[in-house]
């Protein structure tokens, strides 16, 4: 039991250190904008900055599977701990639509040992909405032999000049490899480069 607890705490601390070391020093939930009345007084014309498309942005994150339901229910941090490190590129075609390419290596620790247990490739379409909310419908192809799809509900919660921070909940549905069908719930957090 002590070994399991030590391994779990170590895995969580590693994820926190990696996330903090990659984060910028300053960020805010809103972008600073110039006061239009002061700009008018100074005789400065207000220009609207319009993003040019297509645009590619990369991202880094980590993901914790919280629970998986198949023939039995499996909880993360109960006997073993899994953490994934999704990295990818989002190709944005407009303010409302894009395509995402993601690779997720997963590390599993338990019983005093750890190993890379799976590599997931999950491309998907992005439907972008106001206030930083995005719905991503992903296909899923795993080196473990499983396949399926993953709906992702993503929300940007803080913005800075260099990165946007996000959190996401996903519900992976998997089939194949002579195993029962499964559905799960994952928590993801990370940042995209602007």
Give me the domains of the chain, ranges plus CATH numbers.
Answer: 2-24+53-193 (2.40.160.20)
Over residues 7-41, the pLDDT tens digits come to: 555 555 555 555 555 455 444 444 444 455 554 55
CA dihedral 168, 171, 173, 174 (to 10 degrees): 60
Tell me the percentage of the chain whose pLDDT exceeds 70: 75
Query: What string of DSSP letters covers 86-146?
Result: -EEEEEE-SSSEEEEEEEEEEEEEETTEEEEEEEEE--EEEEE-GGGEEEEEEEEEETTS-
- Whether 160 has a pLDDT exceeding 80, the answer reads yes
- Whether 175 has a pLDDT exceeding 80, the answer reads yes
Cα 169 → chain centroid = 9
Over residues 112-144, the pLDDT tens digits come to: 899 999 999 999 999 999 999 999 999 999 999
CA distance 84 to 106: 4
- Overall pTM surpassing 0.85 (yes/no): no
Cα 165 → chain centroid = 10
Query: What pLDDT was estimated at residue 154?
Result: 97
Query: What pLDDT was estimated at residue 113?
Result: 92
CA distance 32 to 51: 17
Over residues 33-64, the pLDDT tens digits come to: 445 555 455 554 545 567 799 999 999 999 99
């Amino acid at each position: 039991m002590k070994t399991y607890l030590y391994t779990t705490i170590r895995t969580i601390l590693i994820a926190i250190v990696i996330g903090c070391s990659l984060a910028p020093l300053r960020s805010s939930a809103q972008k600073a904008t110039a006061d239009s009345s002061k700009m008018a007084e100074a005789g400065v014309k207000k220009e609207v900055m319009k993003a040019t498309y297509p645009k590619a942005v990369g991202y880094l994150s980590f993901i914790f599977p919280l629970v998986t339901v198949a023939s039995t229910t499996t909880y993360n941090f109960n006997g073993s701990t899994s953490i994934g490190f999704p990295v990818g590129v989002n190709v944005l075609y407009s303010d409302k639509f894009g395509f995402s390419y993601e690779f997720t290596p997963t590390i599993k620790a338990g019983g005093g040992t750890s190993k890379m247990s799976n590599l997931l490739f999950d491309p998907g379409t992005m439907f972008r909405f106001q206030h930083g909310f995005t719905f991503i419908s992903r296909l899923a192809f795993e080196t473990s032999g499983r396949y399926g799809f993953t709906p992702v509900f993503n929300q940007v919660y803080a913005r800075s000049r260099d990165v946007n921070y996000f959190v996401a909940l996903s519900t992976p549905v998997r089939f194949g490899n002579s195993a029962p069908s499964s559905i799960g719930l994952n928590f993801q957090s990370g940042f995209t480069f602007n």
